[in-house]
Amino acid sequence: MKIGIIGGTGGMGKGFALRWSQNHNVIIGSRDAARASEAAKEYTDLANESFGKINGTITGNDNVSVAKESDVLILSIPYENIDSVCSGILPAVKDSCVVVSPIVPMVKTDVGFEFIPIKENKPFSYQLVLKYMKNKSRLVSAFHVISEKKLVNPTMVLDYDIFVCGDDKGAIEVVNGLINEIKGLRPIYLGPGELSYLAEISTPLLLNAMIQNKIKNPGIKII
């Protein structure tokens, strides 16, 4: 399976690329194809060093090219960039492509991390991305609550639950499969896409708990 990561040169993109390259062909996306290729080479060396051998590959290309090739496309981008990025790439994806939004609309203020849709009465991330989807049922919301610092360490076992929201059973199964491939992660289905704000708001909640209680790189686990 070809997994494209838009914003793949960032920390979250790096972590996903390293871990999924064990079984899949991962394509790093960036506005600059040369930068994406350089990152892909770095990630490949690190993956081989960490796992001894990977069954997949890590390559890099510009965002539009990555969108066209991918079977699964991860949008590892900031909330404020959704319109500018998604308007340019999502019209290029295949109808069968599963698009995954881990995007969190939050802002740091004097009181802590706040949820932009509540504070500023703006749409949540899933709603914004959905506008640009050709096949709207293939959008899945997932991976909001995960420690980037732990994710980028490819040999570290994680112990988190990942909230998943979406409307298409097949698309959800694809995402659940990718979650299960990362040792220690467990998918927890919350409901259809219109409930994605519940998954998105869990990130500022967790960050505020982390800061106020001095907890290092926490996650969420339902027991």
Mean pLDDT check: name the lowest of 71-85, 151-165, 196-210: 151-165
Which domains can be identified in the chain, with CATH numbers?
2-213 (3.40.50.720)
Residue 217: per-residue pLDDT: 82
Residue 205 main-chain phi, psi, to 5 deg: -60, -50
Residue 154: per-residue pLDDT: 85
Residue in this structure with the two tokens 């990555």, named with its chain if needed: 66
In the predicted structure, residue 10 carries a pLDDT above the cut 90: no
Percent of the chain with pLDDT over 90: 87
In the predicted structure, residue 216 carries a pLDDT above the cut 90: no
Model-level pTM?
Answer: 0.95
What is the overall mean pLDDT for the chain? 95
Residue 91 main-chain phi, psi, to 5 deg: -65, -15
Coil/strand/helix, residue 86:
helix
Residue 150: per-residue pLDDT: 87
Mean pLDDT across 74-96: 96
Report the 3 state secondary structure along 129-144. Answer: HHCCCCCHHHEEECCC
**Could you tell me which residue, 78 or 218, shows the higher pLDDT?**
78
Please name the residues in contact with 84: beta carbons below 8 A apart, sequence gap of 6 or more: none
Mean pLDDT across 85-113: 96
Mean pLDDT across 48-73: 94
Mean pLDDT across 25-54: 93
Cα→Cα distances 182→175, 185, 188, Å: 11, 6, 14
- Cβ-in-10-Å burial (0-12, 13-18, 19+) of 23 comes to middle
In the predicted structure, residue 149 carries a pLDDT above the cut 90: no
